[in-house]
Structure 1
């Protein structure tokens, strides 16, 4: 008794029927914007590392005092170190997520579109809350106008990515890749 060999898996970019599924322009643009989001996040993080240390120290002191905590130099140094380590960690994870989700969405991975959407919406909301906070609290924007501009740019990129990933042509692209 002989058996036929099992059919091979379709190549990347091919539908089950063998037809090539081209990546639509909206997904390509979303992918490029995600790579741009990674770059903006990296620049923003690096600028934060080399920002005005004295101003950051004073702002941290004021925030700790406003929270009712006794502030001495050791407490202040500890808070600044924790903030630095946390900031670097968040920056690295953010850059990796932008890059990974850009790559996966460009390949038509459906769950990556959902994750990018959730993170994008959270990013937009974070930007709005940050803008509102800096408008309400004097000196609320650590790093000043440049940091705020980069934050707004990142939020706008996230919004554009979400819109592009849910266009009808993008939906057909992800649906075709889901059937592979």
Structure 2
């Protein structure tokens, strides 16, 4: 005679939907891995940014020659170091958030699907209106694949059903 609620045992004969666990479709799994791949490619781009300091310093020196107020070489070097450090830090924070949203999508959260769609759209727009790199395009392609997979009918059904289970 305990006051503890009775939970279904793991060996119950109930279907997965009735036990509170949904069968995740392959489209959601594919979307999850596409977003993880997009994030991994973005992290690779951030790591490569660490090795581009010389190019950034050279560009800053060329631009410095055109300014009326001249900066010293030490100031240019320091500014490049700060810019690269901040760029890598921001890229890593964005990557961690991107992974969080991918895991939430995998768990059936519609808001995560919307956030990932907006982030991918912003990434594609930045490539269209800015200078893109091969790594940037690869990351965007992975993101677009993830968005498409996350809006297929099986994915939408999973997200709708996961809302009712919660």
TM > 0.5: yes
Q: Paired residue for 2:54?
A: 54
C-alpha spacing 1:20/1:122, structure 2 compared with 1 (3 Å): same
User: What is the CA-CA distance between 1:63 and the residue it aligns to?
Assistant: 4.8
| Residues 13-28 of structure 1: pairs in structure 2 closer than 5 A | 15=17, 17-18=18-19, 20-28=21-29
Q: Paired residue for 2:140?
A: 155
* Matched-pair contact (CA < 8 Å) for 2:64–2:71: no
Q: What SS class does the counterpart of residue 130 from structure 2 fall into?
A: helix
CA root-mean-square deviation: 2.7
* Matched-pair contact (CA < 8 Å) for 1:26–1:170: yes
Q: Paired residue for 1:72?
A: 71
User: What is the CA-CA distance between 1:85 and the residue it aligns to?
Assistant: 2.1
Q: What SS class does the counterpart of residue 22 from structure 1 fall into?
A: coil
* Matched-pair contact (CA < 8 Å) for 1:61–1:71: no
| Residues 90-169 of structure 1: pairs in structure 2 closer than 5 A | 90-131=90-131, 148-169=133-154
Q: Paired residue for 2:85?
A: 85
Q: What SS class does the counterpart of residue 105 from structure 1 fall into?
A: helix
User: What is the CA-CA distance between 1:58 and the residue it aligns to?
Assistant: 1.4
User: Which deviates more, 88-97 or 166-175?
Assistant: 88-97
Q: Paired residue for 2:13?
A: none
In structure 1, how many angstroms separate the alpha carbons of the residues matched to 2:81 and 2:68? 17
Question: Number of aligned pairs?
Answer: 156
Task: List gaps (5 residues or longer) in structure 1.
Answer: 135-147
Task: List gaps (5 residues or longer) in structure 2.
Answer: 11-15
Segments ≥4 residues shifted beyond 6 Å: 4-9
In structure 2, how many angstroms separate the alpha carbons of the residues matched to 1:63 and 1:160? 39
In structure 1, how many angstroms separate the alpha carbons of the residues matched to 2:164 and 2:23? 15
TM-score (norm 1): 0.73
Q: Decide which of 134, 141, 161 is 1:176's aligned counterpart.
A: 161
